[in-house]
Amino acid sequence: MKQSPALAAGRPAIRGQFLRFIAVGLLSTLLDGVTYRVTMAAIDIDLAKALGYLVGMSCSIACNYHWSFGYRGGRSTAVVAKSVLVYLLALGLNVAVNRCGILLLGTDPYGTTAAFLLAVGASTIFNFAGLRGWAFR
């Protein structure tokens, strides 16, 4: 089956966007994880997870806006609002997956780390699809 030229041309762009998105995600995840670990002993674990996610989200929106998706439309309130909405929906997903992971795996360091990684994976996939397919279209 022969592929259309437009589809073939789009693959390198998607690959590059995804790789930049992952690089930004690694930095954001580091900020999320550090914030989560530092605050989880002092506040409710779900609140600590949400706070960590919000710190990572702020970094991610700032970096993805121009670098990952190459948005050149200027400072669009609509694009920022769409990005924030995608991230807030992903926040709910992130906290819910983290909570389910903790319920299943426990609150020891291995359980919380595994739950954290599952939550990051689920929200990363959701974010990329939402940002690329809707916010930065």
User: Could you tell me which residues come within 8 angstroms of residue 41 by beta carbon, excluding any fewer than 6 positions away?
Assistant: none
18: enclosing H helix or E strand: helix 5-39
The predicted structure's pLDDT at residue 63:
86
As given in the structure block, the two tokens for residue 112 are 């919380």
What value, to the nearest 5°, has the Cα angle with vertex 121 and ends 54 and 30? Answer: 50
CA distance 75 to 66: 10
The predicted structure's pLDDT at residue 65:
78
H-state helical runs in 40-108: 45-63, 77-105
Where the chain has pLDDT below 70, the residues are: 1-12, 71-75
